[in-house]
Amino acid sequence: MVYPCHFKGALVILAIDIGGTKIAAAHVVNGACIDRRQLPMPDTEAEFLQTIARLATGRPLPSGIAVAVTGYVNGDRVQSFNHKTISFWDGFPLIPRLAQLLGAPVVAINDAQAAAWGEYCLRKASCQDLLFMTLSTGVGGGLVLGGTLREGSHGLAGHIGHVAIDVPPIDAPSMCGCGRLGCLEAIASGTALARQASHRFGRSMTSSELLDSARGGDALALDIVQRASHAVASAIASAHAQLDLQVLVLGGSVGLAPNMLNWIESALHRYPAVYHVRVERATLGADAGMLGAAAWFQDQRGGDY
């Protein structure tokens, strides 16, 4: 796929995707990730900076650093919904630390916001109002309204995984990692699906095993997946009522699992027509965060780059 993110002349952008368990880095050249490398996410700040340095070693000196991060970016610091994800992350001054380490300007945004911007860039000829939702280990999101990525005053905008949902899980309501009961993430994330499946089947199960069983027609598995799909549809309908979306882009390993989009659309169409919004599969794949962050860097630094 040719991605619409082209930098002028010999500009070298180093894109970095920082997740809860891994860090990936690549150069983004003519819309593609080049020389992609990945290492585990370490537990301490010192090891984190060493890992970033290792990922940047042996590459051309970058003109800019585009970063997609788990958590959200408030000013020049990252903050976490779930404080257990990375021990040193909440309040970590990511942008100045990376700028000092790598000697280049840094632009950083939440990873789902980056993916939202990337998916929007592919659709901007026909779409101005888009919500991206990723169903994966957690549930994240990013919002583009009027052709502008909305980060919000504190970097929170689009975090649809932490909206309250009126659909209970099949097990006892579980506290979300953010510290609140009833969040979408606590019923429809991969982690929540695995938790409910393990409860229902009385043995340890992954979300992938659950989805396989549901597709195979297992009634117990289907009940869990359809309940989660109703929760996702409820969140989409509420977002559409607030934002008047043109498209909902669904991504993540759970969101892109076979038949998941059909289950969610079926649940959405149980609501009155005013709540219906077109749901499309995400297309940027595993590098969506890096590609979106690079495109966002270009947008933010467009005058200089």
Q: How many residues line the site for Zn ion (CB under 5 A)?
A: 4
Closest CA to 3 of 219, 288, 305: 288
- Length of the chain equals 305
* Contact predicate 63/305, CB 8 Å: yes
Q: Return the biggest CA–CA distance within the chain.
A: 59
SS3 call for 270: coil
Cα–Cα dist 231/264, whole Å = 9
Q: How far is the CB of 56 from Zn ion (least distance, A)?
A: 33
Site string for Zn ion, 233-262 (x = CB under 5 A): ------------------------------
Task: Tell me whether strands 64-69 and 106-110 are parallel, antiparallel or unpaired.
Answer: parallel
* Residue 183 or 228 having the CB closest to Zn ion: 183
Q: Which two tokens stand for residue 203?
A: 């043995």
Closest CA to 158 of 111, 105, 126: 111
Q: Is 183 in the site for Zn ion (CB under 5 A)?
A: yes
Q: How far is the CB of 193 from Zn ion (least distance, A)?
A: 16
Q: Name the segment binding Zn ion (CB under 5 A); options: 138-146, 181-189, 265-273, 283-291.
A: 181-189
* Residue 79 or 213 having the CB closest to Zn ion: 79
- What's the DSSP call for residue 113? H
Cα–Cα dist 287/284, whole Å = 6
Q: Is 231 in the site for Zn ion (CB under 5 A)?
A: no
* Residue 25 or 188 having the CB closest to Zn ion: 188
Cα–Cα dist 31/34, whole Å = 9
Q: How far is the CB of 135 from Zn ion (least distance, A)?
A: 14
Q: How far is the CB of 33 from Zn ion (least distance, A)?
A: 31
* Residue 23 or 176 having the CB closest to Zn ion: 176
Strands (E), 163-291: 247-251, 278-281
Q: How far is the CB of 177 from Zn ion (least distance, A)?
A: 6
* Residue 51 or 174 having the CB closest to Zn ion: 174
Site string for Zn ion, 146-175 (x = CB under 5 A): ----------------x-------------
Q: How far is the CB of 217 from Zn ion (least distance, A)?
A: 32
Q: Which two tokens stand for residue 253?
A: 């390993």
* Contact predicate 105/65, CB 8 Å: yes
CA 235 to chain centre: 16
* Residue 53 or 175 having the CB closest to Zn ion: 175
Cα–Cα dist 284/1, whole Å = 9
Q: Is 178 in the site for Zn ion (CB under 5 A)?
A: yes
* Residue 139 or 210 having the CB closest to Zn ion: 139
Q: How far is the CB of 153 from Zn ion (least distance, A)?
A: 19
- The only residue of 176, 232, 249, 250 in contact with Zn ion, by rule CB under 5 A: 176
Site of interaction with Zn ion (CB under 5 A): 162, 176, 178, 183
